[in-house]
Structure 1
Amino acid sequence: MRKEKFSFNVKEFKKMKEPNDSGSNLTRYIMYIELKSLLNNEKNILEWMETNPRFQNTNTSVGKAIEHSLEDDPTSFHLYNKGILFAADDVVFNNIENKVEITFKNEKINGNIDGGHTLYIILEKLKDNPDLEGYVFVEIFTGDRLEEFIIDLSESRNLSMKVTMESLIEQRDEYDGFKNLITKEAWSDFVYYQMFENKKFPNKTINIRDIIAVTNVFNLSLFQIGTFPIHSYSGKGVSQTKFFNKYSDEGDSKKIQEAPLIYSNIFPKIFELYEEIEKTLYSNIDINQKKWAISVGKAEAKKVVNYTTFTKTKLKNNLIVHKGILFPILSSFRSLIDYNTEGSKFIWKNEVDPIEIFKKVKSELLNIIVDSDKRSPETIGKDKTLWRVLEKEVKLHMLETNS
């Protein structure tokens, strides 16, 4: 745990105690901080952003509006901008020099809560004009209730642009269980967990909710055999919510963090199977299948995708497997899953390799889809009957193999 102090020139400093007689020392400080004095602390203060649920993307309409306001009339900026909110370990005001000293100690509960865009844009403008005259409104909370108060405060304040569910879950460390599984995979660096994180780091192309949607396909507790995880294709946000609702226990973050361990025995093969479908479903196909694949591929014609989702392996052909086709096929292998009650984890039945099974049945699975005479991948992805027939085909193959 590191400790860092920041000093700013201020005007109109006010200290406000918690008005309710709750025995808490929660305290609010409000002030106007001189813009120029922010520049002296630029490098280090931007390291205290973990408490803000999203990365700062200044290219949004909100970011542009803040920038224009600062450019047009910097001396009135404090009147039109809602300001910056911090949570700190301590605040000390020097009324002789009109300076405030802010102490940050714990990255989880100290730092910027709201107004991150404002802070970032001010610092960028100061680089071009270090003598920029003006003030910004700043609000700071301190006290022993910060840890329980910080997330609700962050959620309530970040309303100018709706914060994604992913950002809030990440702030509560509730993705940690998934992270423990993902970090073992070669593609872990491509996954992002917060709003705008993929804008700041363009190599991050996989949203964590896409990971959850894929694993939900094989969760027999969420979807028993005979019911189908269509939300994994059609509504990834709904799919994520379904998982967290299933395993949450009145805000018990530890239980949520441990829940993904149920996938630990099957996680790597699930994503190997996903990639195998992407890479090989349309390889070595007959003329009729190829004609059909090209026709449904038109829906994706505007997207230049020549690599797989997770490992970014280059595709050998330009035939894209639409998610509306991929997910029903992926789901058909749920019949290879069992639940080990002793270890409280999902396992592959008889240690079967789903990749080898896919290689043997992929032509039949593709024929089922082609023969369904459905030309829209979106329709295929939402057709329960088709999901059921595909699953039965895999079951039938396993019965014949084991007989």
Structure 2
Amino acid sequence: MNDIFEFPFNRSVALKSPYKSDNRVVYHLWVNVRDIPEGFPTQVNPREVKDTTKVYKRIADGLTESTESFFVNNRGILISAKSIGIDSISKAVKLNLGEENEKDKFGVLDGGHTYHAIIKHRNKIDNEINQYVHLEIMTNVNEIDELSAARNTSVQVSDKAIAELANKFEFVKEALKNEDYANDIAYRENDDKRLDTIDLVRLMYSFNAFKYAGSNSQPIQAYSGKAQVLKDYLKNYDHQGDHRNDYEYIAPLLPTITKLYDQIEIDMRQAYLDNNPKGAFGKVKGIDSKKTKPIKSKFYQHDLDYQITQGFIFPILASFRALVEIKEDNHLEWAVDPFKVWQKIKAKLVNNTIEMSRQLGHNPQSTGKSSALWVQNYDAVTSAKLQLQIEEMNKQSK
């Protein structure tokens, strides 16, 4: 008896082979993760699911966060099917995954960790949030072993870059050696630590005053393009004999940057209420108040009541690049105390950010990529810096 699975989909497209003599078809579907059936055969996948790995945790965290971006941040699930039926009117798919003695041919070929994480963790997704996953379904797959091996040995660009970074972080380690989280950073691909090297690279990229001077150009890729940020780091490192390695000069700022990151997480609710006394911070899309597990600040592990999307944090945090001054010999210094600036204009920065999210349809991901918002926040920090400098000069003249 064949295993038949019927479930709804959001959108679909069928691509026939480009070769006339080839009858293979590849179907691509967006499916709400709540509608993914349990019981897909997984024996055809050569990888055993390990739900204790860092990769699995990233998948589960991406599934349950409130940015509704799982469908683009996850590679999805590849399925070999005996047959498939698509009803475009009712938007339902009927999937035949073969009989019991055909489990070596049909089922989840790649994406077993994604499938496992969906089934195990989808009940933790907020009721108001819909997450979608990409299903790639193939029929008439002849070389099942070859296809399975090819798909399961692929490595994402970011993972390759992280592996390359293993021996290229000594000056960062030195800068952070006295911080509470120094031993929580994974500098190698398989380190099971709560922080990744990419976390640090993105922060340094956000504060690259050499590359991004003034408000006209903003380091938005720190939020939106992890792979490109890592490539920039490697390019700087590998060519440092020919020119300045920007990151070597930015790294000493990291202790202050990470403290500022956590302070933004801690203060954002009150900063929001300062401008919206009757506002419901926990109902803002991108703010997660689930109590299924303790919520901690990213770096120093302070207790928090809310998990805040990075789509809100990065346009605020990166605006403090306006306080970084390039001194003699490329030494970087803070023009004024960033925490004084934060306390002075935190309500304005938070209001700018959440108001932009509303204008963009309550979409935290679009908010994090909004160049207008990054410029607006940067200009606000610049104005606050000048005000504090004038105040300090007035004090000294008295």
Please indicate the TM-score interval, normalised by the length of the shorter structure. 0.5 to 0.7
* Pairwise CA distance, 1:258: 6.7
Q: TM-score, normalised by structure 1?
A: 0.53
Q: Are the aligned partners of 1:325 and 1:381 in contact in 2 as well (CA < 8 Å)?
A: yes
Partner of 1:312: 301
C-alpha separation in 2, matches of 1:363 and 1:264: 28
* Pairwise CA distance, 1:363: 0.8
> Structure 2 matches for 1:191-340, cutoff 5 A?
191-198=185-192, 204-225=193-214, 226-249=216-239, 260-283=247-270, 285-286=273-274, 288=276, 291=279, 293-297=281-285, 300=288, 304=293, 306-315=295-304, 318-340=305-327
Partner of residue 353 from structure 1, selected from 337, 352, 371: 337
2:184 matched to 1:190? Answer: yes
2:155 matched to 1:162? Answer: yes
| C-alpha distance 222-259 of structure 1, shift in aligned 2 (>3 A) | closer
C-alpha separation in 2, matches of 1:339 and 1:389: 22
Partner of residue 374 from structure 2, selected from 366, 387, 396: 387
* Pairwise CA distance, 1:259: 5.4
* Pairwise CA distance, 1:181: 1.8
C-alpha separation in 1, matches of 2:165 and 2:196: 12
C-alpha separation in 2, matches of 1:62 and 1:345: 51
Partner of residue 346 from structure 2, selected from 330, 345, 362: 362
* Pairwise CA distance, 1:217: 0.6
Q: Are the aligned partners of 2:223 and 2:311 in contact in 1 as well (CA < 8 Å)?
A: yes
Q: TM-score, normalised by structure 2?
A: 0.53
| C-alpha distance 257-309 of structure 1, shift in aligned 2 (>3 A) | farther
Q: Are the aligned partners of 2:287 and 2:306 in contact in 1 as well (CA < 8 Å)?
A: no
C-alpha separation in 1, matches of 2:232 and 2:245: 16
SS of the equivalent of 1:224 reads coil
> Structure 2 matches for 1:64-103, cutoff 5 A?
64=48
| C-alpha distance 184-256 of structure 1, shift in aligned 2 (>3 A) | farther
Describe the superposition over 1:198-231 as per-residue Cα deviations: whole angstroms up to 9, x where unpaired.
2xxxxx1111011110111111223222211111
Q: Percent identity?
A: 22
C-alpha separation in 2, matches of 1:289 and 1:388: 26
C-alpha separation in 2, matches of 1:176 and 1:197: 16
Q: Are the aligned partners of 1:272 and 1:355 in contact in 2 as well (CA < 8 Å)?
A: no
Moved more, 283-292 or 386-395: 283-292
* Pairwise CA distance, 1:240: 1.6
| C-alpha distance 292-244 of structure 1, shift in aligned 2 (>3 A) | farther
* Pairwise CA distance, 1:260: 3.4
* Pairwise CA distance, 1:369: 2.4
Aligned partner letter, 1:239:
V
Aligned partner letter, 2:180:
A
Aligned partner letter, 1:64:
E
> Structure 2 matches for 1:2-81, cutoff 5 A?
62-64=46-48
Aligned partner letter, 1:194:
R
* Pairwise CA distance, 1:314: 1.1
Q: Are the aligned partners of 1:174 and 1:256 in contact in 2 as well (CA < 8 Å)?
A: no
Partner of residue 400 from structure 1, selected from 368, 384, 387: 387
C-alpha separation in 2, matches of 1:326 and 1:209: 16
C-alpha separation in 2, matches of 1:348 and 1:287: 28
| C-alpha distance 289-370 of structure 1, shift in aligned 2 (>3 A) | farther
C-alpha separation in 1, matches of 2:243 and 2:199: 18
SS of the equivalent of 1:338 reads strand
Q: Are the aligned partners of 2:186 and 2:195 in contact in 1 as well (CA < 8 Å)?
A: yes
* Pairwise CA distance, 1:393: 1.0
Q: Are the aligned partners of 1:365 and 1:390 in contact in 2 as well (CA < 8 Å)?
A: yes
* Pairwise CA distance, 1:306: 0.9
Describe the superposition over 1:315-359 as per-residue Cα deviations: whole angstroms up to 9, x where unpaired.
1xx23221001000011111100112x33222112xx21012101
| C-alpha distance 354-386 of structure 1, shift in aligned 2 (>3 A) | same
* Pairwise CA distance, 1:305: 5.6
Supply the RMSD in Å over aligned alpha carbons.
3.1
SS of the equivalent of 1:229 reads coil
* Pairwise CA distance, 1:182: 2.6
| C-alpha distance 256-295 of structure 1, shift in aligned 2 (>3 A) | farther
| C-alpha distance 242-262 of structure 1, shift in aligned 2 (>3 A) | same
* Pairwise CA distance, 1:255: 8.2
* Pairwise CA distance, 1:289: 6.4
Larger CA Rg, structure 1 vs 2? 1
Describe the superposition over 1:283-330 as per-residue Cα deviations: whole angstroms up to 9, x where unpaired.
262483673632334564668561011111111xx2322100100001
Describe the superposition over 1:25-65 as per-residue Cα deviations: whole angstroms up to 9, x where unpaired.
xxxxxxxxxxxxxxxxxxxxxxxxxxxxxxxxxxxx54539
Aligned pair count reads 238
| C-alpha distance 217-292 of structure 1, shift in aligned 2 (>3 A) | farther
C-alpha separation in 1, matches of 2:244 and 2:299: 23
Q: Are the aligned partners of 2:175 and 2:252 in contact in 1 as well (CA < 8 Å)?
A: no
* Pairwise CA distance, 1:282: 1.2
Aligned partner letter, 1:293:
F
C-alpha separation in 1, matches of 2:386 and 2:372: 21
